[in-house]
Structure formats: C-alpha cells, structure tokens
Amino acid sequence: MKPLVDLVYPPRCPLCGVAIAEQAGLCGDCWGLLDIPGGASDDPEALPGGTVIRVHAVTYYNDASRRLVLDYKHGGRIAHARLLARLIAARLPDEDPHRPAPLLVPVPLHRWRLWRRGFNQAALLAEELARLGKGTLLVDGLERHRRTVSLGGLGREARERALAGAIRINPRRRTRIEGRDVLVVDDVLTSGATTRACAEALAQAGARSIAVACFARVGEAGDGI
C-alpha cells in the first residue's frame, strides 16, 4: 500500500512535473539532463600543512542542477533536501568498518543570514545524510563568526579575501573533531573558497581526514550563485 503522502500528493518530478514512482526522485528524462562526473570524486587538493581533501559531487552545475538548487535554496523548496541528499549519498565511498563513521559538518551560515533565510541548506543536507547512515551529524562544528558580503558573482581570489578569518571551529566542538574523519557538506561548490576555509579550520583542529560532499560543483567557466 502506498504511503498516505503519496495518495495526497502524488509523486512528481521536481523539474518537469511528470508523474514518477516515488517521492524525492527525478524522471528519467530529467535525470539525463544532469552532467554526472565520470569518476567517484574529483582530484585531491592539498591544503597548507599537507592535508588533502577530496570532493564528491553529484553533478556539474548546469541548467538542470541550477534549477534544483535555486528552488531549494531560494525558492523555499526545503523538501528537495531529501532528494539532493539521496543523490549525494550515492556518490560517497563505502565507509571503512574499522574506523568511526565520519562527522558530517555543514558549511555554516552567519546568524543574520540564517535568520533572514530561515534555514541553513547545508545543515538540512547533512541531517538527511545522517538519516541515510552516511555519518554522524555535527551541525555546529563550524561557525561563521564574521558576516561576509554575498559571494555570488565574485571570483576565486575575491571570495578568498572575503572569507579570510570568517569561518572557525566552534570551540565547544574541537575535542569531537580531533582525530576524526570529517565530511564537509554543502549544496554547491563554486570556486572552492568556502570549503577550503572550512577544511583549513578543521585541519587546524586536528581532523584526521577531510572530504567535501555537495550536490553540484561549478566548473572553471561556470557561474556562481
């Protein structure tokens, strides 16, 4: 028997509106519009001090993924969190059974932006990933203690200047991060400046390894949001 929600709200593709088999899915045609990376992750990137991060992205940022992200982030479609998280989860590597589950740490919003938007889109994705068994949620592991200008439309260097010193470890969570594998969660990776700032703070706190999980990533020629 179908869940009651399916009877009240028949599942439909969030992009084109066609009927689909279950909630939190895409139709076959719209799935084909996503630009899926060929490998399991992007090439690793070294941070100062030798820490290496990997990026696990569902899709490159194109018209289809842009619509999903903007509807979720700015259009109030927070139910998209379940869909996006399921797609992210499918891109993540299997966990090592001999190591503790990774900590899921969302990219933080400044408190004023959180108040204005009403939710942190990265935190909702991290919560869904935790429900899917992809790690242990640490929703306040990082904090954006300084308000920054909107990063949309800024290049990589400008983003890095704007973020300098803006993101730090929550001092109450430092001991939980030390020695742990950490997965930084966000909706879109644009220039990488924000996730690098997060990763550098986590590395300074003693994280054992750091990776990034996101729904979409922007190529060098792509536009930010």
Question: What is the phi/psi pair of residue 48, to 5°?
Answer: -55, 135
**Which of 61, 63, 4, 64 has the alpha carbon at shortest distance from 31?**
64
Contact 189, 217 (CB under 8 A): yes
Residue 100 confidence (pLDDT): 92
Q: pLDDT at residue 191 above 70?
A: yes
What does pTM read for this prediction? Answer: 0.86
Lowest-pLDDT choice from 133-137, 167-171, 218-222: 218-222
Q: pLDDT at residue 106 above 60?
A: yes
Number of H helices, E strands in the chain: 9, 8
Contact 34, 58 (CB under 8 A): yes
Torsion sign over Cα 165, 107, 94, 222: negative
Residues in the chain, how many? 225
Question: Stretch 130-134: mean pLDDT, rounded?
Answer: 96
Instruction: Categorize the per-residue pLDDT at 215 as very low, low, confident or very high, splitting at 50, 70 and 90.
Output: very high
- Higher pLDDT: 131 or 96? It is 131
- Higher pLDDT: 95 or 171? It is 171
Question: Stretch 28-40: mean pLDDT, rounded?
Answer: 87
- Higher pLDDT: 127 or 145? It is 127
At the second CATH level, the architecture of 35-217 is 3-Layer(aba) Sandwich (3.40)
Domain residue limits, the chain: 1-33, 35-217
Q: pLDDT at residue 148 above 90?
A: no
